Structure 1
Amino acid sequence: MEVGDMSQDCRRLDIDIDYLSGQLAAMLAIASPTGYTDSIVRYVCAQLDRLGLSYELTRRGAIRARLPGHARAGARAVVSHVDTLGAQVATLGPDGRLGLVPIGHWSARFAEGARATIFSRKGAYRGTILPPMASGHTFGDDVDTAPIGWRHVRLRVDALAEDRSQLERLGIEIGDIVAIDPQPEFLENGFIVSRHLDNKAGVASMLAAIRAMVAGPRPPVDVYWLFTIAEEVGHGAAAILLPDIAAMVAVDNGTTAPGQNSAEFGVTVAMADETGPFDYHLTRKMVELCDANDIRYQKDVFRYYRSDSASAIEAGADVRTALVTFGVDASHGYERIHMHALRSLAELLTAYGLSEVDIPRDEKVMAGLKGFTHQPSDPADQMLGPGTKRPETAEPDPG
């Protein structure tokens, strides 16, 4: 099959929306800031057990599940992350309040007023993140002019903690992980508002796609489903790839904001992030699959964004990468998405998993020129002239 021939790729499978929504709700209820992901890893593994997929875990808990195909070499991978934003205790204040540093990149503007859980050696405590001047009755209009930043918020612990010694008696220490409540709302019109939709919504879409595929036809090559545990701090998929994996599609959020082309409906196909363009051929394949399967889509470029694939590429993995996203309004804040995007994304993943292999040469880590890809307006094509055979097809490949 030639690249761009999509006649055999109208293959999207039906997605169980209730299952997708239920998985998202269940995962949002599990605290999983980067560095505190054991519980969410165990949950995802339990779902894979129910779906009948075999899997293995890295030492720290990244998951690699395998859906067998007709061939192993040239396998595909789909990846998303189970970790979320959060915070850590940075200081124990003399007033019994905790200073914080963020886990991942998010603004303290969205931390003010958040309910949270502190995980200490002696157990979990609840609390609220507040600015030092939190009472208008005390500080008047100064509460509206206070500076914003992580140096200007404190975590009030819901326990007897009026000074540092009492915090220490509770077992709270510098470095303790703080999980932020998601406060999810699933609206009847399909909108979902919550923290941590990045990227539990992506994980839910993957589980829904797996559920559809295990009951469907066998894919042409193995499809690996990867769930990483430290994407929010830049680690991503670097440690979980296999040599058999030739292409990897990351699933994450797209930012719907002024100056961006993402949307809360359909799939947003990322053409590039801050690490550079995604693979030309794999990205075009995702777009053509949307066309062939009547899946709404739009393209976007993310200048201040990286996903699971970035760390793998930076670590030297020779794998084609693409990024498909669900549009999120107010990413890394009080996020909002729509179920239409999650369903569309899951449908696209099933179509991708079942699509024919476009570049058979990719099953080898190294190979000769025969079967190597072409791009439009390649200078070599222009130099050859019309009707001239390409050198790699005119003679047998010596490799």
Structure 2
Amino acid sequence: MHETIDTEYLTDFLEALLAIPSPTGYTDQVVRRCCTELDELGVDYELTRRGAIRAVVRGESRDPARAMIGHVDTLGAQVRRLKPNGRAALVPIGHWSSRFAEGARVTLLTRSGAYRGTILPLKASGHTFGKEVDTQETDWDHVELRIDVEANNGADLAEHGIAIGDYVAIDPRPDMRDNGYINARHLDDKAGVASMFAAIKALLAGDVRLPVDTYFLFSIAEEVGVGASAVLHGEIASLVAIDNGTTAPGQNSSEKGVTIGMADSVGPFDYHLTNKLIDLCIEDRIPFQRDIFRYYRCDSASAIEAGNDIRTALITFGVDASHGYERIHLDALESVARLMVAYARSPVQIKRDREELSSLKGFTRQPTELSEEA
């Protein structure tokens, strides 16, 4: 039985998420929006102290529970210094190049209110600097935030309540085309989160009891490397991260279908869980490809580093120009949601995972036999 993914719901919720500024550290509002949606769907959830969400769709058994995780936080910046010229120096939130920040319209979030502004290179006018606008260096020391207030020096900025550490949210500028292409900033990972909600909606519409409790986790600090470190618990035996796959020369990811991550910069994902996802794609005729990401890590890394003994895997939607002005295709989001539904409904294969510590009985095997063609 294959549940239909409501792609209109998926894209509408994606637009709603993109409209909410949520750089890492400033995620309260997007967390509230996700919780409101869970209330609408009738899904139980609880929050950690800082706002990571742990929603659950109950199954026939409590364990070995499964989890899927996406992150609601995005890239952004903070004010590093108030400059004598009345502008602000910046430091990035997350790992992204200032090349993609140049020209961005932004919202500056202060204790006293929000301001609009633009990130510009230090030499922004060809009429003033000539060819130097093309030869200046590209890094965060060579951009500044021009804020739309009257300010001729740092003291003027301070009088407006602007201070070191204030958050800078980058405008997403979404553009959704009728042919399925979606352009925006912050599709990593708000597109993944929207796919998760579409999968939840499909599971509930199917009215079929899941084999085990299935958790949908939403982390708030993935872009700084600690997203899943505090949202798991002992009953969860496997964790599938939902994130972006980079479509670029030298990569095998695609903007269509599911891209299954075989390894990232931390190392290989769990052999058995990854192959289960591949088998589900084959059985349910979900188009897929495999890839390895050398300069990339996801929530599974922080989960393992926090001491969780869990199986991890990664399923992705292909993103062109990741951590820049990104592009994806709705086909990939629908395929990812279909795989999440198939995974949640699939029977448990490794029953021994119910126990954190056990004997060799029921332990897994990996094939070592030579192929007949070898």
Common fold: TM-score over 0.5:
yes
**1:303 maps to what in 2?**
294
2:137 matches 1:132: no
Given candidates 322, 330, 346, the residue that maps to 1:355 is 346
Supply the distance in 1 between the matched residues of 2:2 and 2:131 (Cα, whole angstroms). 56
Q: Which runs of 4+ in 1 moved over 3 A?
A: none
C-alpha separation between the residues in 2 aligned to 1:12 and 1:225?
20
1:320 aligns with 2:307: no
Matched, 1:332 2:323: yes
8 Å contact kept, 1:182–1:194: yes
Alignment of 1:222-237 (within 5 A): 222-237=213-228
Aligned residue in 2 for 1:113: 103
Displacement after TM superposition at 1:12 (Å): 3.6
Secondary structure in 1 matching 2:34: helix
The residue type paired with residue 327 of structure 2 is R
Partner of 2:236 in structure 1?
Answer: 245
1:360 and 1:230 mapped to 2: Cα distance? 32
Within the candidate set 3, 8, 13, 1:13 is matched to 3
Q: Within 5 A, what are the aligned runs for 1:1-399?
A: 11-216=1-206, 217-377=208-368
Where 1:151 maps in the other structure, the secondary structure is: helix
> What CA deviation, in whole Å up to 9, does each residue of 1:57-95 have, x standing for no partner?
000000000100000010100000000000000010000
Letter in 2 for 1:374: R
Structure 2: gaps spanning 5 or more residues: none
What SS is found at the alignment partner of 1:70? strand
What is the alpha-carbon root mean square deviation over aligned residues? Answer: 1.0
CA-CA distance at 1:45 after TM superposition: 0.3
Tell me, in whole angstroms, the C-alpha distance in 2 between the residues paired with 1:271 and 1:114: 34
After TM superposition, the score normalised by the length of structure 1 is 0.91
Structure 1 counterpart of 2:60, one-letter code: H
1:142 deviates by: 1.5
Query: Is this contact kept in 2: 1:12–1:348, CA < 8 A?
Result: no
Report how far residue 127 of structure 1 moved.
0.2
Alignment deviations for residues 286-332 of structure 1 (CA, whole Å, 9 cap, x no partner): 00000000000000001111000101111210000000000000000
Residue 378 of structure 1: CA displacement? 7.5
Offset of 1:18 from its aligned partner? 0.2
Unaligned runs of 5+ in 1: 1-10, 380-399
Secondary structure of the 1:14 match is coil
Give the TM-score normalised by structure 2.
Answer: 0.98
Output the CA distance in 2 between the equivalents of 1:268 and 1:146.
37
Inter-partner Cα distance in structure 2 for 1:12 and 1:308: 28
CA-to-aligned-CA distance 1:190-233 (integer Å, 9 cap, x gap): 00000000000000000000001012211100000000000000
Bigger radius of gyration = 1
Contact 1:89 1:173 in 2 (8 A): yes
Query: 1:234: how far off?
Result: 0.2
Q: SS in structure 2 opposite 1:182? A: coil
The structural deviation recorded for 1:137 is 1.3
